[in-house]
Every structure is written in C-alpha cells, then in structure tokens.
Structure 1
Amino acid sequence: METSDKNTRTHLGRKISRIRELRGMKQEVLAIELGISQQAVSKIEQSEDIEDSTLEKIANILGVTAEGIKSFNEETILNIISNTFTSNDSSTINAINVQPNFNPIDKVVELFEENKKLYERLLASGREKVEILRKGYN
C-alpha cells in the first residue's frame, strides 16, 4: 500500500492529468497548446517523470507553476475545498454561495426603469402606427 501511495505522490503524469481535468481541459486542447498530438499528451500523462522544460510549458498552459504540479496533492485540495466551502442550504442547486458585489435592489430598480422606458417607446410606436392608419383612410 505504501508503494502505490508513493507512486501517486511522485507520478507527475497523473498529477498533470488531474489538474487538467480539474481545469475542465481536454487532452486535445492541451495537445494543441503544446503543438503535439493528443496521443503524445496521453503518453506524457502516463509518464512518472517529465522533463523540466516540458513540465514548465504544461504548467503555463494549465495556469499553475511547475512546482505546483510537483507538489499537487488531490487530498489536500479536497480538504481545502471542504474546509472553506460553506452553505446554509444542502440542496445541490443552491450549493453555490453567491455573494454579489452589487445591491440586488438597485438592479431591480434599474431593470424596472429600463422596462418602463421600453414600454413607453412601444406605446409611442403604436400611437404612430394608429396615426399613419388614420391618415391613410382620410
């Protein structure tokens, strides 16, 4: 059990694969960014060791540092997420803790005013059409 745990800790390819997945990036996208084939990316992700220059390129594309990839530990990441995420609602739909940086009431008033202006323009347009029709019959 210790050897498989040690392999997971030092297997750079698996770490790259997991970071890529967490970023929502497909192998094909990483391959295009690196200028290599998807099969080559697959081979990199199966490799335990990766050249520093390649690791730097991959790190830049993934938006992390090479050291970040080397020290990546999914268990630590999950602990950070579970310890920092709070929600008063247990439902999946409302599990995102939304804290807007604007006053929602101001937005409602703004939308109301915009809606009022659009309605007034619609009424004016209707009145113009009625006038045109009246002139056409006279």
Structure 2
Amino acid sequence: MSTLTKQNHIGRKISRIRELRDMKQEALAQAMGTNQQAISAIENSEIVDDEKLVEVEKALGVSVEAINNFSDEAAINYFNILYDHSNNGSQGAFANNCTFNLLDKLMEVVDENKKLYER
C-alpha cells in the first residue's frame, strides 16, 4: 500500500489550499455559513459534490479548476521560481531594493546621538 496521497483527493486539495491561505477550518466554515465539523468532513472526502465545491471556491477565492488541478509540487515550484528570480537580480517577490547603505545610516544615527548627548 502506497503512503503517497492520491492525486484526485479533492478534500486534501481543499485542505492544502486553505492552509496555504493561512485559514483555519473555523474561518472557512464561517465564510461558507457552516460549522467546523462540516469543513472537516469535506476535507476528509475524496469526492466533493459540485454545489459544495462552488461554495468552497467562493470562500477560498480560488476557482474550481484551481482546486481540481492543485498539487503540492506545483505550489513548491511556483515559490521556487519567485525565489530564483529574486536571487538573479530581477524583481522577484523577495528582491531587496535598498537605495541606501545601512551602515552609513547607522553611523549617522550614532553621530546624532553623540551630538544630543553633548548638548
């Protein structure tokens, strides 16, 4: 028996998307107008009916197609691409765009503090 998750387990995909959006089951339940136990049942279900899937779509802010096609590997690759772009000097999500030298600014503050202390 394989320990890998099944690729078409819709409930697990919903759970992972919810976690990536930093949302708890209670928050998703509130957005859908239901309770946490119902969300737990949805996330444990391999197949979710279309009506519930549309409700989840609206609450999570992602399309049904995105839920159906979601994979952890694709999400990891997406974030790796963002990180790689930032390391190559392009404008990635984590690019550092400082226009001043931090050490120079620190020394300016130290000098200013000395002047204030001397007064």
Scaled by the length of structure 2, the TM-score of the pair is 0.68
Q: CA deviation at 1:80?
A: 2.0
Deviations 1:69-120 (A, max 9, x none): 00101101101211231344xxxxxx932458xxx68xxxxxxxxxxxxxxx
Matched letter for residue 13 of structure 1:
G
What is the CA–CA distance in structure 2 between the aligned matches of 1:19 and 1:98, rounded to whole Å? Answer: 28
Number of the residue aligned with 1:76: 74
Q: CA deviation at 1:8?
A: 2.3
Number of the residue aligned with 1:11: 9
Aligned length: 94
Alignment counterpart, residue 42 of structure 1, candidates 37, 40, 43: 40
Scaled by the length of structure 1, the TM-score of the pair is 0.60
Alignment counterpart, residue 53 of structure 2, candidates 45, 55, 59: 55
Q: Which has the higher helix share?
A: 1
What is the CA–CA distance in structure 2 between the aligned matches of 1:31 and 1:9, rounded to whole Å? Answer: 24
The percentage of aligned residue pairs carrying the same residue is: 44
Q: CA deviation at 1:4?
A: 5.3
Q: CA deviation at 1:11?
A: 0.4
Number of the residue aligned with 1:67: 65
Larger radius of gyration: 1
Matched letter for residue 14 of structure 1:
R
What is the CA–CA distance in structure 2 between the aligned matches of 1:53 and 1:63, rounded to whole Å? Answer: 15
- Partner of 2:16, secondary structure, is helix
Q: Which runs of 5+ in 2 are unaligned?
A: 88-92, 101-119
Number of the residue aligned with 1:134: none
What is the CA–CA distance in structure 2 between the aligned matches of 1:67 and 1:4, rounded to whole Å? Answer: 26
Q: CA deviation at 1:52?
A: 0.7
Matched letter for residue 10 of structure 2:
L
What is the CA–CA distance in structure 2 between the aligned matches of 1:81 and 1:31, rounded to whole Å? Answer: 28
